[in-house]
Amino acid sequence: MQSVNFIHMEDGTKEEYEFLHKMEAEYTTGLVGRLISMLGELENSFSGYKISRLEHSLQGATRALRAGESEEMIVAILLHDIGDGLAPYSHSEMAASILRPFVSEKLYWIVKHHGVFQMYYYSHHFGEDRNIRERFKDSPWYQDAIDFCHNYDQNCFDPDYDSESLEFFEPMMRRVMSNPHLGTPS
């Protein structure tokens, strides 16, 4: 079978869905490779900073590694800005959606909201409220999001920082992303 015969999902047979399930399982094994390619594209994407968007991600992940953070946290930091190219107005949500099956609910929430928390460092320069993150002050992960941005995001634009390579982090990504959670949090 090269493809299914149905044109409406409601007409599919068990055999056709088993075929599709097998194809999807094979495709998902390439997820980490596709994410690494997407991270690599950050090397030449918009920056304006003294370093590339890729180097920013590598610096954050390297700082987290050297601070003794978990592999799950390191991978979340590595991927936190992966949505910049396709979702510049909602990159945090895109990155969180990619990570959601592989990380804790806490890390999912932090990555999803890091864009708002990061605004603390610059929005006042545009006459906006730098404390917009306060709307999340009742979250159990409020301080964790502040720490994430302070320790592994806002300070990761140093052209002299000695970051680990993307290849260094690949095995860690494969471990973290090898076992998706079923029934992800809502």
> 92 is in which domain, residue-wise?
12-176
- Given this model, what pLDDT does residue 1 score? 75
What's the CATH number where 99 sits?
1.10.3210.10
* C-alpha closest to that of 166 among 29, 15, 52: 52
Asked if residue 181 is part of any domain, the answer here is no
Asked if residue 96 is part of any domain, the answer here is yes
Q: Is pLDDT above 70 for 58? A: yes
Asked if residue 158 is part of any domain, the answer here is yes
Tell me how far apart the terminal alpha carbons of the chain are, to the nearest angstrom. 36
HSE value, Cβ hemisphere, 13 Å, CA-based, for 23: 10
Q: What is the pLDDT of residues 120-169, one digit of tens each?
A: 999 999 999 999 999 999 999 999 999 999 999 999 999 999 999 999 99
Asked if residue 5 is part of any domain, the answer here is no
Average pLDDT, the chain: 93
Q: 134-141: long-range contacts at Cβ-Cβ below 8 A with a sequence spacing of 24 or more?
A: 139/109, 140/106, 141/106, 141/109, 141/110
Query: Please, are residues 100 and 72 in contact by the beta-carbon 8 Å criterion?
Result: no
The total number of structural domains in the chain stands at: 1
| Distance, CA of 148 to CA of 112 (rounded, Å) | 12
- Given this model, what pLDDT does residue 183 score? 56
Mean pLDDT of 17-36: 92
Asked if residue 143 is part of any domain, the answer here is yes
Asked if residue 69 is part of any domain, the answer here is yes
